[in-house]
């Protein structure tokens, strides 16, 4: 089982919590040719009618201008990591259990499987926590690869 982990530089901003609110922001990015790999939204419970939009990546000068014109800015919180690799039963548990054993609290987690591969986005409250999670993740990947070579013995 192999893993790949990358930091995701996320852009975020307020969005109207109404039909078309997200679509209007994404339209500006699409027109600029942005090829988004990460889109996440949520409502703001303390601000009825408002929500937050997170997107990534934003690359190139045209996409940067479009993101700014959509009211988005590069976000420093939360710290988002993209994790992907070979899928196996119980993988989500193994990852989160190792982080928990080391005292890391997740800000958020989304994982999906397609075929024999998985992709997930995990967010942490600080760069230090994200770096610790990456180190644990690397150790788990090395252990899983060794287990695979030995046939799980």
CATH number (domain holding residue 96): 3.30.70.260
Report how far residue 138's alpha carbon sits from residue 2's, in angstroms, rounded to the nearest whole number: 10
Same domain, 57 and 83: no
**144: pLDDT strictly greater than 50:** no
Could you report the per-residue pLDDT of 72-96, keeping only the tens digit for each?
Answer: 999 988 899 998 888 888 888 888 8
Is residue 141 a part of any domain in this protein? yes
CB 86 within 8 A of CB 116: yes
Contact 1, 148 (CB under 8 A): yes
Are residues 89 and 54 both part of a single domain? no
pLDDT at 150 over 50: no
Give CA torsion, residues 77, 95, 109, 79, to 10 deg.
10
Range of the structural domain that residue 105 is part of: 77-150
Query: 88 and 68: one domain?
Result: no
151 pLDDT above the threshold of 80:
no
Number of domains composing the chain = 2
Distance CA 19, CA 67 (A): 20
* Residue 2 counted as domain residue: no
User: Residues 89, 139: one domain?
Assistant: yes
Per-residue pLDDT of 94-128, as tens digits, reads: 888 888 888 898 999 999 999 999 999 999 999 99
């Amino acid at each position: 089982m192999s893993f790949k982990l990358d930091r995701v530089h996320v852009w975020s901003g307020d969005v109207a919590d109404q039909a078309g609110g997200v679509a209007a922001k994404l339209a500006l990015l699409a027109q600029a040719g942005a090829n988004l790999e990460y889109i996440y939204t949520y409502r703001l419970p303390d601000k009825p009618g408002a929500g937050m939009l997170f997107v990534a990546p934003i690359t190139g000068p045209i996409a940067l201008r479009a993101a700014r014109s959509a009211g988005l800015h590069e976000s420093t919180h939360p710290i988002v990591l993209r994790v992907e690799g070979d899928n196996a039963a119980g993988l989500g548990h193994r990852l989160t259990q190792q982080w928990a054993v080391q005292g890391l609290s997740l800000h958020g987690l989304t994982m999906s499987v397609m075929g024999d591969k998985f992709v997930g986005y995990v967010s942490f409250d600080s760069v230090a926590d994200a770096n610790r999670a990456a180190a644990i993740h690397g150790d788990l990947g090395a252990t899983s690869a060794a287990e695979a070579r030995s046939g799980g013995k």
